[in-house]
Amino acid sequence: MNEIQEQIASCKDLKSLEAIRISMLGKKGYFAEQFAKMKSLPKDEKKDFAQKLNEEKEDFLNLFQVAKMKLEAIAIAEEMKEESVDVTLFNSKPTCGALHPVMATMDKIIEYFVSMNFSIEEGPLVEDDFHNFEALNLPKYHPARDMQDTFYFKDSMLLRTHTSPVQIRTMLNQKPPIRIISPGAVFRRDYDLTHTPMFHQVEGLVVDKTGAVSFANLKYILEDFLKYMFGDVRVRFRPSFFPFTEPSTEVDISCIFCKGSGCRVCSHTGWLEVLGSGVVDPNVFKAVELKDVSGYAFGLGVERFAMLLHRIPDLRSLFEGDLRLLEQFR
Ligand code: DAH
């Protein structure tokens, strides 16, 4: 019995315990064998022998039962470990996605201009020198080309540095009156708090017969647009320079954070620059061979608008794909 006790104690699983049970209680097992021996015993020894054997069997059954319970408990624990649910894993309940803040801002901008009867034009991201620079009154060696650091390919192809080349493509393909915006990605060799190598612009162009479009129209629409985007702000037009417009203006809104009293975001000026615009330069019309027309144009950076609208301090965070940022826009 001691031997059996040891065997049972060293059992690692229910299967080997069952093998022991069969070897003891089975038809050809130990106890069957012992009881069979009884037949050949003299009568007076039979009783003692049977009693001893029955005690032995009971002991075995007790040992077996205890071992079985232990091994069953271990098996269940192991099964539970395998099937357990890791509650730190992601939530399987589907959550709603949302538009990226840049795209949501783009949509809002487009919404305004479409409501003002502008149509949407797109152009290629890989441009040639003519559309991106030359026709926009930026001849080779013109110092204003330095305003934009360009990614070049071979054969004077390049990644467009602004959406203004779509102006040129549209004027070459359509007859005035033209009233378009062109949203899209642009590329520059820049990387810091407020610049990324890829960002988005919306270009605007309105062209009609000479005298039909004036700076006053430009001023009205941009003021109205900026109030639509930022609410109750003041708008100011500041003289500036762009090769493709004359006169050129940069457009500021009163700081939406300090309401114009001066803070860190507006560098204590009370104003935030948000747009470039102007009256189309005659040289641009010459490049696309349009005569007896006038027009205005504007261009804006969508990320700048998104950063102001959502108070995002670092432009780069918009492109890092960090879900913690994006989840805030759900
Ligand atoms: N293309 C200019 C830029 O990328 C933005 C711009 C300024 C566009 C004035 C215009 C404009 O059409 O009239 O900085």
Residue 123 neighbours by CB under 8 Å, 6+ apart: 131, 160, 163, 165, 166, 169, 182, 184
> Whole-angstrom Cα distance, residue 278 to residue 215?
7
Q: Which of 20-34, 136-150, 195-209, 211-225 has the lowest mean pLDDT?
A: 136-150
Whether the CB of 297 sits within 6 Å of ligand 1? yes
> Whole-angstrom Cα distance, residue 35 to residue 31?
6
Question: Which atom of ligand 1 has the smallest separation from the CA of 167?
Answer: 12
pLDDT score at 147: 67
Half-sphere exposure of 118 (CA within 13 A, CB side): 23
* Nearest-CA residue for atom 6 of ligand 1: 299
* Nearest-CA residue for atom 8 of ligand 1: 299
Pocket probe for ligand 1: among 171, 281, 294, 298, the residue whose CB has the most ligand atoms within 8 Å is: 298
Q: How far is the CA of 259 from the centre of ligand 1 (A)?
A: 26
What is the fold of 101-329?
A: BirA Bifunctional Protein; domain 2 (3.30.930)
Residue with tokens 């003041």: 234
Whether the CB of 301 sits within 6 Å of ligand 1? no
Strands 178-187 and 198-209, how do they pair? antiparallel
Q: How far is the CA of 277 from the centre of ligand 1 (A)?
A: 6
Q: What residue spans define the domains of the chain?
A: 2-88, 101-329
Is residue 170 scored above 90 in pLDDT?
yes
pLDDT score at 141: 84
pLDDT (tens digit per residue) in 32-55 = 998 888 888 888 888 889 999 999
Whether the CB of 277 sits within 6 Å of ligand 1? yes
Q: How far is the CA of 153 from the centre of ligand 1 (A)?
A: 23
Is residue 76 scored above 70 in pLDDT?
yes
pLDDT band at 135 (very low <50, low <70, confident <90, very high): very high
